Structure 1
Amino acid sequence: MSDFPSSKFQRGRIFAKTGIKVGSNYASHYLKNLTGNGKQNDRTELHRKTAREVFGEFTKLRGTALKIAQSFSVDQGFLPEEFSDVMTQAQYKVPPINRSLVRSIIKRELGSYPEKLFQSFDSEAVAAASIGQVHKAILKDGTPVAVKVQYPGVRDTISSDIALAGSIFKRLVSDGAKLDEYIQEVKETLLNETDYIAEGESINRFHKRFSNGNVITPEWLPEFSSERVLTMSFIEGQHLNEFLQGNPSQEEKDHFGQLLWDFFHNQIRDLDEIHADTHPGNFLFTPDGKLGVIDYGCVKSFPNDFLMDYLCLLPTHLAQDEEAIRELYYRLDVILDDPETNPKEKRFYDFCIHYGYAFAMPYRGDTFDFGDTEYRDLIRGYTKNAPLANEPRGNKHFIYSTRVHLGLYHFLMKLGSVVQTNTSRRIVEEVLTESYR
């Protein structure tokens, strides 16, 4: 069990220690190269070693530090590959805080200790992430619930953590000014994620939108909730890894893959909020064959001009309309200069357009096999090998649109689903047609 370092002094000391490690690692590497003692694979091991050390220190901090790590871990393309690989652990491998601290937080927030509020309360967390951890409990009327407890002081540390973590990540990218835009977007999203009343209201809105079909969502229980404790109905089901360990049939994998694919595209059709955290920990496969969606801390409403441009990327790539694609790339800050006169932009433009063609492939026919290993290797090859290494590009909203869309692809590739995609293509076309009338 771990405690949460909530004072600025404690957290500043950990950030300083992390910054010193990053600086000394890269300085040592630079000196080796100057003296001719560096080896070709040294930089790969340097990134991996530094990433492990940063992750180890950020795990102690949880909160903002790990959220930044999460946001930049889903193949954004501007952190070193080895760094991103290690940082994906931020979504899963976080030690829980100790039991007595959990009891005191619930007492302070809800007025009584958990054993007084609930018929039973499991002191062992069933999940622990960057901002809080989840415990299973049973209400006095016998209803099973999930109780999410926020680590103490998380919201109060956001501004200082953002500044300190940003200074560390800037050492890994070539355009620190652009990174500032992304970090500000993460900060604003974090402020929303640490407000459990706002998350409860999001739970209710998604429950109204999706609870009548093949998607099941929790229900918020405001009488057992506060800004830092969130209680919701408990959904029984299996996460992706547990499901796959049961050796499911292809039919079962196709079924749940289709539910996830449809959930994503139905959100687009609504032109409303989007569940913006598509990683396996936020989804469950229920015993009655439904898709459980269980976390609503990261819910996004994208500006309409960005969303329409982002959606337009699909039909323009399907049609291979290079003139329209180039115009979209300019508007979305993907390219910064004329590719025909700037060789650097030409390399990046060629990379992006072919990546876009690959990304659009699932929408070309009526069905698509995400279990195709050649396609998986193709997508991973593109996301790991951008020609402008460690240089942030694109509108700041790409952080979360990519997190949703690319996260969906990775989920389906791991699941190995064959998905019907013709309806989703029409959904995008209908949304664009309606928007431009």
Structure 2
Amino acid sequence: MKEQNSIPTSKVARATQFVKTGVKIGGNYLKYNVKKIIDSETTKDELHQDNASDIYSSLSEMKGSALKVTQMLSMDKGMLPRAYREKFAMSQYSAPPLSGPLVVKTFKKYFGKSPQEMFDTFGMNAANAASIGQVHKATKDGKEFAVKVQYPGVSESIGSDLKMIRPIAIAMFGLNDKDVDRYMGEVAEKLIEETDYNLELKRSVEISEACSHIKGLFFPKYYPEFSCDKILTMDWLEGLHLNEFLNTNPSQEVRNSIGQLLWDFYDFQIHTLKQVHADPHPGNFLMRQDGTLGVIDFGCIKVIPAFFYDNYFALINFDTLEDHERTVEIFKTLDFITAVDSEQEAEFFTKLFKEMIYLLGKPFATDEFDFADDNYFESVYQYAEKLQNLDELKNAKVARGSQHGLYINRTYFGLYSILNELRAKVVTTRPEWLCAVGA
């Protein structure tokens, strides 16, 4: 893969990159319209392919929050045409890497030494490259390490990037442009946290130790002496990312084992730790043929406020939804229904969000759920499309739903998506009080 020798870091340079991308997309639409005139049966497939390639090419050069958005979009299967999802999925662990000199420059800036001076060996070619940083393999005293190096200028460009990709973010989260600031603030906060490798090291140690009792999960050890704000060093773990793993044609037993580990991992974090690894894309997991699972990235952690937890998961208990007054009370607390709603609007949105919760909470309504059920996922995608096209949502005076739900919903959507690709059947463990079974 071709390496990058520089990253646009100034506001002007990054804005110019966005403009260039817009010009390319305009050209793609012009080409499509001309072909459509010549042949009325021309489809948008080629247009989507061209746009996806141009957008990914541009954002992958910019790295940081711009590329992170494509990573998040690739997880939203119901949001984008296939061409975009497949291209954007590359941002999870296959973005163009930085060149060696820039990596050395980062080491010398923070440690005053080159990586070759700190390790016995250091692979200058990145093993993996994603949105915030890239990983290099190193050795010292017979041990193998994964060394994550952050791209230059990532943290400094988050604010300006989010302003420029605001329309994408609005579409991605289904928000109303009039009331988007608190949601964008949540996204910005998480992106800023992801660029703080000292914070990631602390959280990685805490959460991996707290989850170490889950048999079959494995985590790397972290090394503060080889880490800093922009460089994070951990054990090198062997395993395969999801697509590589599926290409080995694993048995159903192994698929189920890994799926169960994923479910149990998230169940424990959410319901016991009240903080969760909120970036469940395939690049953050390593799968093995013995049915074990490695977790390698704790950059994005969502701490769940008590009031949000109590109300959000009360709704997953379908008994709550049968209590109309209690449901309306929770909907108001979580901003699904607002003080400015008319009686008709409140009734409409109460019915709408009840339907959504029954659908998305279906895995909780049985002791075991088969995530290979494509009919279920198709119904979810169709419902998402329905929501996007509802005039009542598009023309709403306010955005709906607590900002705390952004990353919790994304966590479950990402988890469901991986389990679906694994074709895993999972025992849906959950707290005793969350007894939606038989609803």
Would you say the 8 A contact 2:318–2:358 is kept in 1? Answer: no
Distance 1:42 1:201 in 2: 50
Residue type at the aligned position of 1:310: Y
Distance (whole Å) between structure 2 residues aligned to residue 193 and residue 94 of structure 1 = 17
> What per-residue deviation string (whole Å, max 9, x for no partner) do you get for residues 223-244 of structure 1?
1111111101122112221221
Distance (Å, rounded) in 2 between the aligned partners of 1:361 and 1:182: 26
* Residue of structure 2 equivalent to 1:166: 166
Determine the structure 2 residue equivalent to 1:370.
Answer: 371
C-alpha distance 55-176 of structure 1, shift in aligned 2 (>3 A): farther
- Normalised by the length of structure 2, the TM-score is 0.83
Q: 1:426 aligns with which of 427, 432, 439?
A: 432
Q: CA deviation at 1:50?
A: 4.8
SS in 1 for 2:234: strand
Q: Which runs of 5+ in 1 are unaligned?
A: 431-437
1:417 maps to which of 413, 424, 430: 424
**CA shift digits 1:324-368 (9 cap, x unpaired):** 44443333233457686249x73x654433232122222222211
- SS of 1:341's equivalent? helix
2-structure distance, mates of 1:385, 1:49: 27
| Cα gap change, 1:278 to 1:339, in 2 (>3 Å) | farther
Task: Classify 1:171/1:262 alpha carbon distance in 2 versus 1 (closer, same or farther; 3 Å).
Answer: closer
Partner of 1:385: helix, strand, or coil? Answer: helix
Q: 1:370 to 1:110 in 2, by over 3 A?
A: same
Q: How much does 1:221 deviate?
A: 0.3
Give how far 1:369 is off. 1.1
**1:71 and 1:175 mapped to 2: Cα distance?**
19
Does 2:17 align with 1:14?
yes
Q: How many Å apart are 1:196 and its aligned residue? A: 0.7
The answer (yes or no) to whether the contact 1:62–1:131 under 8 Å persists in 2 is yes
Q: Does 1:65 align with 2:71?
A: no
The Cα of 1:163 is off from its aligned counterpart by: 2.1
Question: Is this contact kept in 2: 1:317–1:356, CA < 8 A?
Answer: no
Q: Which residue in the other structure is 1:246 paired with?
A: 248
Residue 151 (structure 1) aligns with: 151
Paired position in structure 2 for 1:187: 188
239 and 161 in structure 1: CA distance in 2 versus 1, 3 angstrom threshold: same
The corresponding residue for 2:292 is 290
How much does 1:302 deviate? 2.2
Moved more, 66-75 or 260-269: 66-75
- Which whole-Å deviations, capped at 9, do the CAs of 1:159-179 have from their partners, x for residues lacking one? 222222226656997722333
Contact 2:276–2:302 (8 Å) recurs in 1: yes
Q: Give the stretch that moved more between structures: 221-230 or 183-192.
A: 183-192
Provide the secondary structure at the position in 2 that maps to 1:426: coil
Distance (Å, rounded) in 2 between the aligned partners of 1:413 and 1:89: 19
Alignment of 1:71-90 (within 5 A): 71-75=72-76, 85=85, 87-90=88-91
Secondary structure of the residue aligned to 2:220 is: coil
What's the RMSD between the two structures over aligned residues? 3.5
Does the CA contact (< 8 Å) of 2:304 and 2:404 recur in 1? Answer: yes
Query: How does the TM-score come out when normalised to structure 1?
Result: 0.84
CA 1:206/1:169 → structure 2, altered by over 3 Å: closer, same or farther?
A: closer
Over 3 Å counting, the alpha-carbon distance change for 1:181 and 1:47 in structure 2 is farther
User: Is the aligned partner of 1:341 residue 2:348?
Assistant: no
Could you say if the C-alpha distance between residues 367 and 169 of structure 1 is closer, same or farther in structure 2, counting changes exceeding 3 Å?
closer
**CA shift for structure 1 position 264:** 0.7
Shift of 1:111: 2.3
| Shift in CA distance, 313/9, structure 1 to aligned 2, threshold 3 Å | same
User: What one-letter code is carried by the residue in structure 1 that aligns with 2:138?
Assistant: A
Distance in 2 of aligned mates of 1:367 and 1:171: 33
Partner of 1:229: 231
Amino acid at match of 1:104: K
In the superposition, relative to structure 1, how do residues 379 and 245 fare at CA in structure 2: closer, same or farther (>3 Å)?
Answer: same
Secondary structure in 2 matching 1:203 = helix
Contact 1:106 1:113 in 2 (8 A): yes
Structure-1 residue corresponding to 2:403: 396
SS at match of 1:277: coil
How far apart, in 1, do the equivalents of 2:256 and 2:64 lie?
A: 36
Q: Check conservation: 1:166, 1:180, Cα contact below 8 A.
A: no
Contact 1:96–1:128 (8 Å) recurs in 2: yes
**Structure 2 segments unaligned to the other structure (5+ residues):** none
| Cα distance in 1, alignment partners of residues 55 and 108 from structure 2 | 34
Contact residue 75 and residue 384 of structure 1 kept, 8 A: no
Alignment of 1:124-139 (within 5 A): 124-139=125-140
CA distance in 2, matches of 1:219, 1:45: 46
Does the CA-based 8 Å contact 1:206-1:217 persist in structure 2? no
Matched pairs, number: 420
Deviation at 1:428, TM superposition (A): 4.0
Distance verdict in 2 for CA 1:319–1:168, change over 3 Å: closer
Greater alpha carbon shift after TM alignment, 204-213 vs 85-94: 85-94
How much does 1:259 deviate?
0.7
